[in-house]
Amino acid sequence: MSGGRAAALLLVGVLIGGISGGATAAYLTHRAAESPSQPAINVGLPIATPPPAASGTADEEIVGVVQDLLPSVVTVINYASNGQPQSSGSGFVVDAAKGYVITNNHVVEDTRTSGAGSSFDVVFSNDKKASAKLIGRDPFTDVAVLQVAAQGLKAATLANSDEVPVGALTVAIGSPLGEFQNTVTHGIVSAKGRRVAETSQVILEDLIQTDAPINPGNSGGPLLWAATHQVIGVNTLGVTQATGINFAVSSNTVRQIADDIIANGRVVRGYIGIQYSPITPRQAAQLGLPTGTIGIIVSQVVPGSPAEQSGIQVNDIITKVNDQVIDADHPLSSLLVKNRPGDKVKLTLIRGGKEMTVDVTLGQPAQ
């Protein structure tokens, strides 16, 4: 691609919290994307069984995983409606028989709107270029699926990311700045279960933190577990004001989201059927609520929705979902990101000054 400048998107308010909790901190982050001037339901991307850990040296493990999986990694070129390339990133083949390629949602977005790019190419490690079709994308997890013609492809295997230990040797492969194709970096798994605010509306969950360098253009490429030659995450962003703090969407999240996209062309999330707004301190005081009450106040209940069927009313104050407090760090959309129609959730709410719980069976939103 022309131009070597990295358009690092600065995002305020990275919220970092470990699996076991902990303090949150604010940083500036960059998405690792570079900008120049229908199948059967339950597709079921396989859950990998990790092979025995490699017994060689770290150098041998890195060389081995790169030799094995470099052919699976691609550069993704995103074109605007005028046919000009508008951004680029990375990706990897996850299904050789059907030609599915995993990347990030922000790699395939139109850089000027919230929609998708007009068309896409992928470039393989041997410089072969192929056109790609966008199957679907999910902004809430930053995952997208492309499809290319299935000819001589090599797929990478998605690991069970729950099984990778902190401290494991990692390898990242991608095309930083859109210029340096097939770049390899390495590090370790620094932490698991991180939460990062990608935007003010999107908080990414269940991220793997690594100190393997992830630069603009690496977005969508694989984070590999060197010992098992498996993908444990999809590289997505890094912290601008710190060295060695980078994040990848966990492979378990990627598998769930990609299966939904492949089956439906989109992710169908559970639907409650309310309109709401965050409760302000002034509203809380006017309603006689304890100081520090946080949550959302219901402004409308959709007729016939799961909310109405569960007895939720206008002016109810919902404070928790399944015992997790609703606040700026845990918005309702984030708490429901992995729930599907038919799932049951417990809502804690305040009505008339009294706290109660309501079970809601989630529905499916109208098309």
Annotated catalytic residues are 106, 142, 219
CB burial of residue 2 (10 Å; 0-12, 13-18, 19+): exposed
How many other CB atoms are found less than 10 A from the CB of residue 110? 16
Question: End-to-end alpha-carbon separation of the chain, Å?
Answer: 38
3-state helix, strand, coil in the chain (%, to 5): 15, 40, 45
In terms of Cα–Cα distance, which of 210, 206, 159 is closest to 188? 210
Strand stretches in 20-84, DSSP E = 28-31, 73-79
The whole-angstrom separation of Cα 98 and Cα 316 is 48
The total of other beta-carbon atoms located within 10 Å of residue 349's CB is: 21
User: Which residues lie below 8 Å from residue 60, measured CB to CB, with a gap of 6+?
Assistant: 54
H-helix or E-strand containing 332?
helix 332-335
Other CB atoms within a 10 A radius of the CB of residue 113 amount to 8
How distant, in Å, are the alpha carbons of 45, 301, 343 from that of 339? 19, 20, 6
Q: What is the bridge-based pairing of β-strands 10-12 and 28-31?
A: antiparallel
Are the C-beta atoms of 201 and 142 separated by less than 8 Å?
no
Query: Cβ(288)–Cβ(353) under 8 Å?
Result: yes
